[in-house]
Amino acid sequence: MNFLRFPAGGALRAARLRPVDLLVLCGVLALLFLIVRVGATADRPFDPGNPPAVSTDPRHLPYYAARSVLRMFAGLVPAVLFTFVFGTWAARSRRAAKVIVPAVDILQSVPVLTFLSITVTGFVALFPHSTLGLECASVFAVFTALVWNMALAFYQSLTTQPRELDEAARLMGLTRWQRFWKLDVPSGMIAQVWNGMISFGAAWFALSASETITVNNRDNALPGMGSYVAQALADGEGARVVLAIAVMVAMVVSVNFLFWRPVTAWAERFRTEDCEIAEQPRSRVLELLRRSTLPGRLGRALRPAGERLDRAMRVLGTGGGRLGAAGDEARRKRGDLVFSVLYALAVAAIGWQAVSYVLARVPLPEIGHDALLALITYGRVLLLVAFSTVVWVPVGVWIGMHPRVNRIAQPVVQVLASFPSNFVFPLVVIVLGASGISLNWGCVVLMALGAQWYVLFNVIAGASAIPGDLREAAADLGLRGRLRWTKLILPAVFPSYVTGALTASGGAWNASIQAEIVTYGSTTLTAVGIGAYIQQATADGDFARNFLGAVLMSVYVVVINRLFWRRLYRFAIKRCAL
């Protein structure tokens, strides 16, 4: 008769939902309902010759905002997966690093519009009668704006892990799967969250460009905040642009409050130090979730599946290889040589095909002129990086080392970083026209609006990750002023700064596409540079010149990265690998 036995009273009380559980459950269900409701409208009939119109009626703004936010998170999920897979692969394999790291260096600097001109055509061909093709192209643009900075930051956190942690993982015999989740991810979590935030903010710029783009003299538009502002700018409706800006600010603040602030506070659990910092970041949403029993119940329900997955991943082997003998070293060197030869041949073959394609369609004198245009744009990039270093490194250190200031400044910086610079183009046109300043100089300001935040966010992450015991030791030793900066702060934040400056450089190349041609109503300002060249080629559907502009950008990026940034990176690794 055991099957008739009722559950014990304690079990019934444990199964009851508390008021906070009901509140969390209602919030989750409401979120799922909104995702399904908004996402269901992504698959609608589409005629390439008659693209859907975007209304500037303010009543549509909440719906457009929801569509834009959904695209952002749809791009964030694959970006995180890519970061974990390829960042770990590059950090653990020298051969993979020879391919992945240069590829990321190049891809982070190839402008978003270059991706869009190709991906829009490809995805529309994949879904010829549905707006799902345009949606996929927009999500892919968000993905490309997010992933490169996140992957570089995770790679940097793995390559600068303290040696004692690596030795401990080897001695304990952790599998590759266990090492990844118990050491690699936790050790880089704080920096990864901050880089995810700045990448998410910068991706709003890519989203606004992808929601409305002209390819081959054909307009493609999706319902969203970017397309709404683009249509309002084209119609010269300044009041509705201001209204869209207000909605955009409210949307960014809401995402920060509901998602990024809780994640930032949660990431503090991975801080490794002997003493606690004076004031921990706090989040009301995270406190609500911690008071609820639903996350714990979900974790206990998924624990058996996690244990089975952990056992299955043991086939990948341990997380660190043995120190090989001489024969193993000789065999590894032979393998490296074969890999290097094959890699060089593949790069040479691809380069030859690219050069042949461009020379068959673009005159040689024009290529030389385009190289000069790229040099002019790169001068603007250097000015931006220098400005960001001088201004934002001290500010980022101050914010990162003071949790109370961090709590107040984070939402403000997040709004500024997330704000698409093309939303203020009307103001720029008016100011430049009234002051007589050429866009050749004014576009540097527009590029800075979208790229300088990489330096600030990375420095904040590096400063906030300085262990409290080191800070106390510096205070006990009486380190102040310049000595404190040179012995504690600069060495601690330098790896994060290199990551931020490198990605700021790539972000500046991306921003140059929108910044070197500014249009509001019937007024158009154009600067001399490779960004304006690519934007014009994209609008004309001239793939050869579009491709040429991207290649020239990539050449500049690779050369400068190899001569300057890679050396700084190696110096940071050597300095911080204790």
Instruction: Say which CATH number the domain at 421 has.
Output: 1.10.3720.10
- Range of the structural domain that residue 554 is part of: 17-294+361-576
Domain count, the chain: 1
Tell whether 176 is covered by a domain.
yes
Tell whether 553 is covered by a domain.
yes
Task: Report pLDDT digits (tens) over 359-395.
Answer: 888 888 888 888 898 899 989 888 988 988 898 889 8
191, pLDDT greater than 80? no
Tell whether 570 is covered by a domain.
yes
Across the chain, what does the average pLDDT equal? 77
pLDDT of residue 329: 63
Tell whether 208 is covered by a domain.
yes
Which uninterrupted H or E stretch holds 295? helix 294-312
Task: Report pLDDT digits (tens) over 450-492.
Answer: 778 878 878 887 887 777 777 777 777 777 777 777 777 888 8
Tell whether 333 is covered by a domain.
no
- What confidence tier does 323 reach under pLDDT thresholds 50, 70, 90? very low
Q: Which two tokens stand for residue 259?
A: 């998602």
Tell whether 306 is covered by a domain.
no
Tell whether 420 is covered by a domain.
yes
Give the chain's count of helices (H) and strands (E): 27, 4
The pTM of this model reads: 0.74
Tell whether 356 is covered by a domain.
no
Residues with Cβ < 8 Å from 458, sequence gap 6 or more?
153, 191, 194, 195, 198, 396, 496, 497, 499, 500, 503
Residue 518 DSSP one-character state = E
**208 and 510 Cβ atoms separated by less than 8 Å:** no
Report d(CA 524, CA 551) in Å as an integer.
27
Residues with Cβ < 8 Å from 463, sequence gap 6 or more?
396, 397, 399, 400, 401, 489, 492, 493, 496
Task: Report pLDDT digits (tens) over 63-112.
Answer: 888 988 999 999 999 999 999 988 888 888 877 887 888 778 777 666 66
Task: Report pLDDT digits (tens) over 505-556.
Answer: 877 877 787 788 877 666 777 888 888 888 788 777 777 887 888 788 878 8
**96 and 90 Cβ atoms separated by less than 8 Å:** yes
Which one, of 457, 432, 391, lies nearest residue 527 by Cα?
Answer: 432
